[in-house]
Amino acid sequence: MKRTARRLADGREIIYFDADPDARRDAEDQRDLPPQAPASEMRRDPLTGEWVAIAAHRQSRTYKPPVELCPLCPSRPGRPTEIPEDDYDVVVFENQFPSLAQDIPGTAGTVAGMPMVPAAPATGRCEVVCFTSDHDSKFGALSRAQARQVVDVWADRTEALGRLPGVEEVFCFENRGEEIGVTLSHPHGQIYGYPFVTPRTGKELRAAERYRDEHGRDLLGDVLAAERAEGTRIVLDSEHWTAYVPAAARWPVEVHLAPRRRVPDLPALDDAERDDFAATYLEVLRRLDGLYDRPLPYIAAWHQAPVRTSRDLAWLHLELFSIRRSADKLKYLAGSESGMGVWINDVTPEQMADRLR
């Protein structure tokens, strides 16, 4: 895979990933854009200890443009976009409206009048990953070779963002569908480089540590073994990956994909595991779209080890879930879920796994 890094008109980095080793990527961004000046801040909630990013400049980000004005399509004469080239395989660029960025001015301190609320520049990085130049496609319609290329790009960016100053965790994800809140319909995902270990990852690592202390084994390894032995929640079981509906699924449609071998992150996957994931994931996505005979809105979230801590505890896995609980109903996060973090699922995991099988 050929990797070509360039700069957009406002100084943001754009990286082309091509299957063709002879691909040339030398088109210049012809737009007149002001230099980037991100000003995001993060503040820590004193009641929970969790960090919140404050990024008011994101209010002006692009919102549901018509197809002919899609900023993620290749550029055309008289219609420049975020991608200067007239075609591409996979492309990654720094988000124009980032919630986390490098070189944000300011220093760490506290919120005025609130000594118990730490505040600091939201240092990190936010990237956009365009899976294909075809606006009308989707991840599930990619070929196995194309899907494998995206896996390689995720691994490349995980390593690159992990080397940036201040980044403690790298999160690759895809939001798909207007019901989820997607404002750009072109097939794409995002990557965040957080300046802290996220609350969800922290909880998972603490649970893994307690289990290892008590049983001397890896928690997710035992979960996979038990799910495969019991069988009723297995959706697909390939040579290197298991796709299953977790026994305590929170969402009406929820599938986890985990490798048989414990690896901390995407870069640690070998070639066979990457190839097998591409095939398995495409089949899972096909089944999800067939569930209600319509494109299923979903979030696909990679759970990886932090950059510098607890890497021996983490077990890479992909969590894929949807807010659609039936063909014509959505799952809303109401009082119990949003207020108290106590989930109530309207579908049993066994029923959903059976339907997906």
| Catalytic center residues | 188
Structure tokens at 253: 């449609």
Token duo for residue 150: 């995206």
- Which residues is 172 bridged to in the sheet? 191
Which distant-in-sequence residues (6+ apart) come within 8 Å of 266 by Cβ? 151, 154, 155, 158, 172, 302, 304, 316
Instruction: Give whole-number Cα distances, 118 to 12, 83, 209, 336, in Å.
Output: 29, 38, 28, 28
Angstrom distance (rounded) from CA 78 to CA 65: 17
Q: CA dist 163 to 160, 306, 327, Å?
A: 5, 12, 44
The amino acid present at 20, given as its one-letter code, is: D
User: What sign for the dihedral angle of Cα 132, 137, 140, 143?
Assistant: negative
Name which of 223, 227, 305, 320 is nearest 268 in CA terms.
305
327, 292 Cβ separation under 8 angstroms: yes
CA separation for the pair 330, 14 (Å, rounded): 36
Handedness of CA 260, 263, 280, 231 (dihedral sign): positive
Q: What's the angle, vertex CA 316, arms to CA 98 and CA 331, rounded to 5?
A: 65
The string of DSSP letters for 242-266 reads EEE--TT--SSEEEEEEESS--SSG
CB 297 within 8 A of CB 181: no
